[in-house]
Amino acid sequence: MKLRVLSYNIHKCIGGVDRRYEPGRIVEVISKLDADVVMLQEVDAGVKRSNGDRQAELLGNELGLRYHTWFPNVDIRGGGQYGNAILSRYPLIESSNIDLTLRFKKRRSVLHGVLRVRHDDVDRTVHVFNMHLGLARYERKRQLEMFLNSHPFSGLHAETPIVVGGDLNDVYGGLGQLLAPSGFRGIDRRPLTFPAWGPLRALDAIFVRGAMDFMKLSRCDSELARRASDHRPIVAEVRLLPHHAHASDDHDHKPPQPRP
């Protein structure tokens, strides 16, 4: 079966050019891309600049993606936080956060969501890792090393379906080479995503591993996507393969705990 996976740094739903807070623009951009799984970065909760909205919940409800989780990375002076979120059409049966913060650097992390995908002949557990990496080259390299050695990723079977994506701040385009030895596959020539009004850098990416085929990666080029955030969203089309011999990715999970 096919899955459409989206990654989007929504910039707190604040336009990259006009600086207006308009979550409706983000909703419209995403809704037209018909994604099954949405990885978002820079998602506010309880912050004055975004009317105190809990954006993961707001966007999930507006998009009809009833399963969602959010974890804060950064505390905002004056109250509230922002971080990463995962929205899903399929049940989200577990979530956790992996801290990738380096000393003296801004807080960074990976939000891990475990999805149960049932459709026709497919019944699989899919692990989604949504990350927002640092600005310095050495920082990003170290953070990927931390991720690859972290739990729960390090304990997953090689055939377990895994999606890794997000705002990697991959200015020089080399992070895919760091993931490849661990079995990840992506698109060599990724679309440029930043800045949204005239993209010059391919900062955002999606990779897969395990029982998944990477079919296509595209960028949203709508006029609204040029204005809604400071990044363009990207969408990966992947084929999720039926479960056969391996049972290591199919096990009982506790439901996700409510996020603050």
Instruction: Output the average pLDDT for the chain.
Output: 92
The answer as to whether 195 is a domain residue is yes
Note whether residue 167 is domain-resident.
yes
Specify the pLDDT at position 243: 75
pLDDT in tens, 11-61: 999 999 999 999 999 999 999 999 999 999 999 999 999 999 999 999 999
Q: Decide if pLDDT at 256 tops 60.
A: no
Alpha-carbon gap, residue 93 to 255, rounded angstroms: 5
Residue 258 lies in a domain: no
Q: Which of 116, 175, 177, 127 is nearest to 153 (CA)?
A: 127
Whether residue 20 is contained in a domain is answered as yes
Is residue 250 situated within a structural domain? no
> Whole-model pTM?
0.93
- Is 245 contained in some domain? no
pLDDT at position 244 is 66
Exposure of 18 in the CB half-sphere (CA atoms within 13 A):
11
What is the extent of the structural domain holding 115?
A: 2-240
Query: Quick check: is 129 in a domain?
Result: yes
Mean pLDDT on 74-91: 96
- CATH code at position 57: 3.60.10.10
Amino acid in the structure at residue 1: M
Instruction: Quote the pLDDT of residue 99.
Output: 96
The length of the chain in residues reads: 260
pLDDT of residue 121: 80
**Structure-token pair, residue 223:** 């006029």
How sure is the predictor about 242, in pLDDT bands with cuts at 50, 70 and 90? confident
Rounded Cα distance between 84 and 197, Å, is: 23
**Domain annotation covers residue 103:** yes
Question: From residue 230, how far is each of 9, 58, 64 by CA, in Å?
Answer: 8, 20, 24
CA angle at residue 50 from 231 to 5, to 5 degrees?
Answer: 40
Q: What is the pLDDT of residue 255?
A: 39
Is residue 73 within 8 Å of residue 108, measured between CB atoms? yes
Band (pLDDT 50/70/90 cuts) for residue 257 is: very low
**Structural domain count of the chain:** 1
What are the tens digits of pLDDT across the range 146-186? 999 999 999 999 999 999 999 999 999 899 999 999 999 99
In this prediction, residue 254 carries a pLDDT of 40
